[in-house]
Amino acid sequence: MKFKKTIAFGTISGASLLLLASCGHQNRPRLDSDQTLHWVETADLPTMDPSKSTDVVSGGALNNVDEGLLRIGQGSKLRPGVAKSYEVSKDGKTWTFNLRHSKWSNGTPVTAADFVYGWRRTVTPKTAAQYAYLYSHVANFEAVNKGKKSPSSLGVKAHGKHQLIVTLSKPQGYFKYLVASQAFLPQNQQVVKKYGAKYATAADKAVYNGPFKLTDWNGTNDTWTLKKNNRYWDAKATKLKAVKYQVIKDPGTWLSLYQSGKVDELMTDGLQYRHLKNSPDMHVRESASMFYLEFNQRNGFFKNNVDARKAISLAINRQSFTHNILADGSHKPKGFVPAGLAKKGHTDFADAAYVKSGTAYNLTEARALWKKALQQSGQSSITLNLLADDTPNGKKTIEFIQSQLDKLPGLKLTTTAVPFNVRLTRSNDGDFDMVVGGWIADFPDAISFSSLFTSNNAYNRGRWQNKAYDTAIKNAEGKDANNPDSRWNDLVSAEKTLMEQQGVAPIYQRSQPQMLKPYVHGLQYFPTGAQWDFSRAYISSHQ
């Protein structure tokens, strides 16, 4: 008996189209004659090579000019991309994607072979792709990426022109999100070979299979344009004619351009947010990024001293920090896994795994626990150092934490703000007492955060160790990987353990407050990876 899980995308999108049509024309705003969206980035576009993209600028562009097997949209919901449908075998290891007939912007067909080629190219050691690790569950990834096996042994095969069969080494329920990310895009072998080292270093040195195609980019300039791709299979649904990008690095300049209507959106900084937060244009975009305090538990004071870790966490008033100090739309976290990252039904993971004491503020309890912690260590007072980035937010964080921890008797806290690179090196070397770290999810599943704090994980810089946690994560990635309910419970219990033991103290979850002109509609935002999808956006009449 073979169990098949088929997602009938065709039926769903058909039904939703009908639903839209029945809403009537009255509520739909009239389309403006100029369907151009004016978008802003704060950094240059560094590459258009899907294997080499690591940043949000190229990620955002690639997500709109190319299309993988599936597409991620508003609220991290998946919709069909090049794959019309897909099936997962009962053991969760074989994924079969049925591809539609679609074309590259140069007119050649997009086939299963393009996926096989693109994926192999990304994991080949010579490519030196920094996101190759996302392939960790694809069969033979390790061996191929280390150069021990040939790329052709990677677990991906074309079956005819329109079927792609992927073999995983172990079940991975969230693989569906990965195939929607840049590292899993198809690549046209002829084009890659034709341009060689120059591939994807300028707009005309690549081909595109998504809703838009890139133009006006010479590889280093500060402006570029996404033009509607008329060869895209769903081109009739794309209303925008163009998305004009401009790089603006100065927040004040950006605000002026937004006010004068030269650009359609503005990501505000803290100061601007305070003035603009009541504007009808304001939208706070939840980000899947968390900033947290790690305790060095390799040896020394914090090792096996849960009271010390709890005391410090309880002494920090995160509500006051996010509202009065940062005041940029960031908010108090519920736990380590950010709110809005993963859901089961209507339940958010952060709510399901909420442990109140993990991020609460209670100075009385903090002082009592701190006293116990000092007794346990046999000292009457202690000097600790807090390490953080020398960014504006990093400095605000250490200054605030220092003022809060001042209220713990017998603690002398010194602080060090260093450049990002130095902070990373010192974190990796364990050269800190406490460090403010940050993490952003690659894909919308709790594991992209939870996997960090297993005992042997390289990112577990404080070396917090807990058997129950390790077992829960092992089960989620192993025996329960193919059972969504048990896997969810594993991850929830792991998160609860992490918070109850205060392996880490989450400080704030970041948000991106965005001003958006009222005539821009249909933008799709999601908190991980590329973040934006323009394929359904349109401009309403605003004269």
Q: Which residues bind another protein (CB under 8 A)?
A: 44, 46-47, 49, 52, 54-55, 125-126, 128, 130-133, 145-146, 197-201, 218-223, 246-250, 252-253, 256-257, 259-260, 262, 419-422, 424-425, 428, 438-439, 442, 458-459
Query: Least distance in Å: CB of 539 to another protein?
Result: 20
Nearer to another protein by Cβ, of 307 and 445: the residue is 445
Query: Least distance in Å: CB of 418 to another protein?
Result: 9
Query: Least distance in Å: CB of 424 to another protein?
Result: 6
Nearer to another protein by Cβ, of 211 and 506: the residue is 506
Both tokens assigned to 471: 């077992």
Nearest by Cα to 525 from 74, 56, 60: 74
Query: Least distance in Å: CB of 423 to another protein?
Result: 9
Phi, psi of 344 (to 5 degrees): -125, 115
Contacts of 200 (CB under 8 A, 6+ apart): 47, 48, 49, 50, 52, 206
Query: Least distance in Å: CB of 419 to another protein?
Result: 7
Query: Least distance in Å: CB of 56 to another protein?
Result: 11
Answer for the pair 423, 435: CB distance below 8 angstroms, yes or no.
yes
Nearer to another protein by Cβ, of 211 and 527: the residue is 527
Query: Least distance in Å: CB of 264 to another protein?
Result: 15
Nearer to another protein by Cβ, of 1 and 128: the residue is 128
3-class DSSP assignment, residue 8: coil
Query: Least distance in Å: CB of 250 to another protein?
Result: 5
Nearer to another protein by Cβ, of 354 and 439: the residue is 439
Query: Least distance in Å: CB of 526 to another protein?
Result: 19
Answer for the pair 273, 327: CB distance below 8 angstroms, yes or no.
yes
Nearer to another protein by Cβ, of 215 and 428: the residue is 428
| CA-CA-CA-CA dihedral for 72, 75, 78, 79, to nearest 10 | -80
Separation CA 126–CA 59 (nearest Å): 21
Nearer to another protein by Cβ, of 166 and 206: the residue is 206
Buried b vs exposed e over 453-492: b needs ≥16 C-beta within 10 Å? bbeeeeebbbbbbbeebbbbbebbbeebbbbeeebbbbbb
Answer for the pair 316, 505: CB distance below 8 angstroms, yes or no.
yes
Phi, psi of 437 (to 5 degrees): -110, 170
Separation CA 450–CA 454 (nearest Å): 8
Nearest by Cα to 369 from 323, 330, 409, 319: 409
* Radius of gyration of the chain measured on its C-alpha atoms: 25
| Residue pointed to by tokens 């080499």 | 52
Nearer to another protein by Cβ, of 161 and 198: the residue is 198
Contacts of 31 (CB under 8 A, 6+ apart): 239, 538, 539, 540, 541
Nearer to another protein by Cβ, of 375 and 459: the residue is 459
347-348 and 504-516 strand pairing: unpaired
Answer for the pair 517, 264: CB distance below 8 angstroms, yes or no.
yes
Nearest by Cα to 397 from 289, 316, 502: 316
Nearer to another protein by Cβ, of 55 and 406: the residue is 55
Nearer to another protein by Cβ, of 120 and 536: the residue is 120
Phi, psi of 480 (to 5 degrees): -100, 5
Q: At what angle do helices 467-477 and 484-500 cross, to 10 degrees?
A: 160
Query: Least distance in Å: CB of 366 to another protein?
Result: 30
Query: Least distance in Å: CB of 40 to another protein?
Result: 9
Query: Least distance in Å: CB of 88 to another protein?
Result: 27
Query: Which stretches does DSSP call E strand in 61-183?
Result: 70-72, 78-80, 83-88, 94-99, 102-103, 109-110, 156-158, 163-167
Nearer to another protein by Cβ, of 119 and 131: the residue is 131
Separation CA 141–CA 155 (nearest Å): 8
